Amino acid sequence: MVRAEREAGGVVGEQRLSLSAQTRLGRILALDRPLLDVTLDQLRTFIVVRETGSALKAAQTLGREQSSIQKQLDTLNHQFEKACGEVLTRKQGRGRDCLFTGTAEALVTWSMSVLGTLVTELDNAKQRLGRGLRVGTTEFTLGYFADIWPAVHDALLAMDVNLTLLHVRTRHFWEMLEQNRVDLLCSGVVAVDGKPAFDERFEFLQLHSDSLALLTNLTAAELPSGPAVSATRLRGLPLVLPESGVIVDFVKKWYGEDYRRHLTVAAEVDDIYYGLALLRLRLVRGVMLMLDSIVDAVMKGRLPIPLGTDFRKITLASTFTPKLELVSGVVGRRGERERYSADHPLNIVWRAFEDKARSIGVNSGLTAYGNSSEAPGYEDADRLTELE
């Protein structure tokens, strides 16, 4: 601000002029004081209020008192009204969500970007310094990590490593690696004629291989156990399929991108247990295409579904073309391990997986929880989520 004084009839006047800040530093130095008092905690609170709709719901989400959340909202409203002339939220009456202004929407977008980038950069710094490691798994590959956990537990604990296990959906595998949101991924990919199709940017350590089979609630009269179902026979069976993922990758390679035109798709599901429920409750009478080892797990009662369900396993003929299998194991970004020392957590865990692969060879059979014969209990799962 520039202050200019002049005398007019004995009255000293004041004129305020704004100088344009042309440089990045100049723009930062020109920030109004109210905005400099905004904290990261206030921004996080405001994001939660926007996502939940009200101070009450935000307080429940954050585990805080509603009065504390409302105080932060009032402070932000005051700060932004003073800085730009518009409040962020307006109350609409008891029981109704807040009304968010245009300034509020812009602030939420910016805040999510800032806080998201901050978390990512902190994770990257921890990973670079050997203080953090992020491992992504599905429910059915969590057992891979459970298998090597005893071999790495003491070393990671001694190094005070912040280990994070992330539940990753199959369709999000590659973007998680590409966006550096995980350091290792326990996953699987379809192999054509024994050759897994992996991007050259990634390295892959194979632990298991598996094929597909059918789980059915149809009677033996409706669908005999033999002979094995051919590609032609499968076309006419009412089929439960996932919406995306490796099973769909198989189907697309057998029947093409427009596989729905060639198959009798009775239901598409986002979760394996929902598909099992459709069959169990006989809301769909037909077959569900699944990994062979998971069908075996269902038949042996190793999945958490009610016992006594009248399911049968039906094999697929070996005449499907091309010849496909699921190869599963551990995936990392190529060249990343070489940038770190041998005692970096990433290399410690990778070597443990290599030792496991050497000890078991490449097996046929992805059980419901990796290589374990039984699913881990809740206590086992809990001990994997953090280093005690």
Residue whose pair of structure tokens reads 């002339």 in the numeric block: 85
Distances (CA, A) of 183 to 123, 166, 315, 334, 336: 10, 11, 36, 11, 9
Question: When comparing pLDDT for 221 and 226, which is higher?
Answer: 221
Q: What share of the chain is helix, strand, coil (3-state, %, to 5)?
A: 45, 25, 35
Residue 95: which pLDDT band, with cuts at 50, 70 and 90?
low
pLDDT of residue 314: 96
Both tokens assigned to 374: 């039984």
Residue 98: which pLDDT band, with cuts at 50, 70 and 90?
confident
Secondary structure (DSSP) of 250-314: HHHHHH-TTHHHHS-EEEEESSHHHHHHHHHTTSS-SEEEEEHHHHHHHHTT-SSS-TT---EEE
Residues 6+ away with beta carbon under 8 Å from 376: 142, 143, 146, 369
- pLDDT at residue 31 is higher than 90: no
Both tokens assigned to 67: 């009065």
- pLDDT at residue 366 is higher than 70: no
75-79, 106-110, 149-153, 191-195, range with the lowest pLDDT: 191-195
Residues 6+ away with beta carbon under 8 Å from 136: 165, 166, 167, 168, 173, 176, 181, 182, 184, 185, 186, 187
- pLDDT at residue 145 is higher than 50: yes
Which parts of the chain are beta strand (E)? 2-8, 11-17, 89-90, 99-100, 132-137, 162-167, 184-192, 195-196, 202-210, 212-216, 239-242, 265-269, 287-291, 312-315, 324-333, 363-364
The whole-angstrom separation of Cα 153 and Cα 296 is: 31
* 316: β partners: 229
pLDDT of residue 123: 76
Superfamily classification of domain 212-315 = Periplasmic binding protein-like II (3.40.190.10)
Residues 6+ away with beta carbon under 8 Å from 141: 186, 187, 188, 328, 366, 370
Residue 370: which pLDDT band, with cuts at 50, 70 and 90?
very low
**Start and end residues for every CATH 3.40.190.10 domain found in the chain:** 129-209+326-385, 212-315
The mean per-residue pLDDT over the stretch 117-125 comes to 81
Residues 6+ away with beta carbon under 8 Å from 276: 215, 288, 298, 303, 305
The pTM assigned to this predicted structure is 0.64
Q: Amino acid letter at 152?
A: V
Residue 131: which pLDDT band, with cuts at 50, 70 and 90?
confident
CA dihedral 254, 258, 259, 265 (to 10 degrees): 170
The mean per-residue pLDDT over the stretch 129-158 comes to 90
**Start and end residues for every CATH 1.10.10.10 domain found in the chain:** 25-124
- pLDDT at residue 274 is higher than 60: yes
Superfamily classification of domain 129-209+326-385 = Periplasmic binding protein-like II (3.40.190.10)
The mean per-residue pLDDT over the stretch 252-259 comes to 95
Q: Which fold has domain 25-124?
A: Arc Repressor Mutant, subunit A (1.10.10)
